[in-house]
Amino acid sequence: MTKPAYPRFHLAFPVTDLEAARSFYNGILGCPTGRESDRWIDFDFFGHQLVAHLVAPEAHPSAATNVVDGHAVPASHFGVIMEWAQYERAAEMMKVNGIEFVIEPYVRFEGRQGEQATLFVKDPSNNHLEFKAFRNIEMLFAKDLESY
């Protein structure tokens, strides 16, 4: 594995069923597994380390939302920023696999420099994931997309 030109992130998150997490992250999303025990599994999430930790269902946090662009966006979520074609393939793969969208794939700022595609799904433990792509990755940290 080659070293990326940027640091990798590590995220530990709760799941209520390790085998369901394995089926979703490895089986559907194609994330390779790493180390694991009977209480956690490491996943290679597009070059970043996710660690699914088993928790009791009653200990799993609930998800609050914020309104963004007319959608109820889960306040607690994680995801990946992909190249546009990769995002389109991922969205199609999710449709083919019957993954229910929390927020259907759509494009924000269409035709403007900050144009971006986004979608939200839930894993089997109700953790929210966002997949997105920018037409121009240089706009990733732009402060005022409305002016572009």
Burial category of 21 from C-beta neighbours within 10 Å (exposed 0-12, middle 13-18, buried 19 and up): buried
Write out the H or E segment, with its range, that includes residue 88.
Answer: helix 84-96
CATH code at 61-148: 3.10.180.10
Per-residue pLDDT of the chain (148 residues; tens, 9 = 90+): 666 678 899 999 999 999 999 999 999 999 999 999 999 999 999 999 999 999 999 888 876 889 988 899 888 999 999 999 999 999 999 999 999 999 999 999 888 878 999 999 999 999 999 999 999 998 888 876 554 3
Q: Which residue ranges make up each domain of the chain?
A: 1-59, 61-148
Taking the C-alpha atoms of residue 104 and residue 82, their distance in angstroms, rounded to an integer, is: 17
pTM for the model = 0.88
Q: Spell out the residues 6+ positions from residue 137 whose beta carbon is closer than 8 angstroms to its own.
A: 81
**Taking the mean position of all CA atoms in its chain, how far away is CA 76?**
11
User: Is it true that 1-59 and 61-148 share their CATH fold?
Assistant: yes
Spatial CA neighbour of 119 closest among 95, 145, 147: 95
The domain made up of 1-59 has a fold known as 2,3-Dihydroxybiphenyl 1,2-Dioxygenase; domain 1 (3.10.180)
